[in-house]
Structure 1
Amino acid sequence: MSTVRISGSKKHSSVNGPGVRYVLFFQGCPHHCPGCQNPETHDPVGGTERNVADVIQEILQTKYLDGLTFSGGDPLLQPEAVIEIAKAAKNAGLNIWLYTGWTFEQIQKGAAGEKAKEALTQLDVLVDGPFVEKLKTGNAIWRGSDNQRLIDVERSLAEGSVIELPESKVKK
């Protein structure tokens, strides 16, 4: 039985991607970005260990959702859980977003591990790169700082280069 270590969840969020989203906050982050909005998620042994099947059931039983957002911490530290949960959510018709401190290019080169590359295939949008406090302008919709990108994962994987989504074109 697989497990996931999480810091918490939010059943109905409108600030972690478009529409109404279930947000799962993963526990553990190696990036330790100064000014991080979730520093309590950095400790990899903090939070709560949950059965992945129970998490999936909770997500699928939540009404009125447009999507699922993986946040953290860094979800790519637990790629097996990301893959399993994302597959179930996608099968239920949910749009999948993931926030990570690694860039798309770093993930593709294996910096987050081989399973993290596989996890990308389950995502619709990747919000990549570390939070940089001096680049926080308040203009970065769905991003903490202006260096972070909204990446169309499927197109980027198919074309072999990063395809960014303009904020005005992000769909539910």
Structure 2
Amino acid sequence: MLSILDILEDTTVDGPGFRTAIYAAGCPNGCPGCHNPESWDINCGRWMHTDEILQKVLADSFADVTFSGGDPMYQPEGFTKLAHAIKKQTRKNIWCYTGYTFEKLLQNPRQAQLLEYIDVLVDGKFKEELKDEDLYFRGSRNQRLIDVQASLKRNETVVYHYNPKI
């Protein structure tokens, strides 16, 4: 079961192309200036079975997937189960937004499991003093786009370079 605020189909703001965005409830970070502070309380979401969420993902055959929130890493077991099912049944890529850094997630076995199914991680807390509206798919300059699979293979953090022109 996952506490979910919303599921948006065919959004284009949470990663490249059309995406099904799954907004998790619950976030321990409480970043000042957060664009979604109502997502901090896990009890503000609706409890959904991963199979119910998966059916919404599968119904949109051409859209990739984004886990956002809140913070999906606040509910790592449920999102790991969901991500595993998505990868098992589709070729969709999965982006995940989190206030944790990639390096910190690797130190937590519960959260590190989810990384095995994530293609791109947008990591780091939003920092209002570093806000930059010219960045692609992130809000502040400290946040990174991480190529998770390359990072896990190389055992070092590999930045994902997004270029909308290709």
- With the shorter chain as reference, the TM-score category is over 0.9
1:170 CA displacement: 9.9
Task: Provide closer, same or farther for how the CA distance between residues 169 and 109 of structure 1 changes in structure 2, counting only shifts above 3 A.
Answer: farther
The residue identity in structure 1 corresponding to 2:155 is: G
Q: Give the letter for the 2:134 counterpart.
A: N
Task: Answer yes or no: is 1:84 the counterpart of 2:81.
Answer: yes
1:98, distance to aligned residue in structure 2 (A): 0.3
Give the 3-state SS of the residue equivalent to 1:73 in structure 2: coil
Q: Which residue is equivalent to 1:42?
A: 40
Say which SS state the counterpart of residue 30 (structure 2) adopts. coil
Tell me the CA shift for residue 79 of structure 1: 1.0
For 1:57 and 1:6, the matched residues in 2 are separated by 14
- Separation in 2, partners of 1:83, 1:107: 13
What is the aligned counterpart of 1:25 among 23, 26, 42? 23
- Give 1:140's match in structure 2, choosing from 120, 125, 135: 135
Q: Which string of whole-angstrom CA distances, capped at 9 and with x for unpartnered residues, describes residues 84-143 of structure 1?
A: 211222231111000000000111122xxx211110001000000000111112121011
Letter in 1 for 2:161: P
Mean CA deviation greater in 19-28 or 73-82: 73-82
**Identical aligned residues as a percent:** 39
Q: How many residues align?
A: 165
CA-based RMSD of the aligned residues comes to 1.5
The 1-side partners of 2:165 and 2:20 are apart by 17
Q: Aligned to 1:154, which of 144, 149, 154?
A: 149
Match of 1:116 among 111, 126, 131: 111
| Unpaired stretches in structure 1, ≥5 consecutive residues | none
- Residue pair 1:18, 1:170 contacting (<8 A) in 2 also: no
Could you list the structure 1 runs, at least 4 aligned residues long, displaced by more than 4 angstroms after superposition. Answer: none
Post-superposition offset of 1:51: 1.3
Judged with a 3 Å threshold, the aligned counterparts in structure 2 of structure 1 residues 122 and 170 are, in CA distance, closer, same or farther, namely farther
Provide TM-score, normalisation by structure 1: 0.91
> How far does residue 156 in structure 1 lie from its aligned partner after superposition?
0.6
Deviations 1:38-96 (A, max 9, x none): 1110012221101111110111012431x100000010111112112112222311110
Is 2:83 the counterpart of 1:72?
A: no
User: Could you say which residue in structure 2 is the equivalent of 1:9?
Assistant: 7
Give distance in 1, aligned partners of 2:38 and 2:22: 14
SS of match in other structure, 1:36: coil
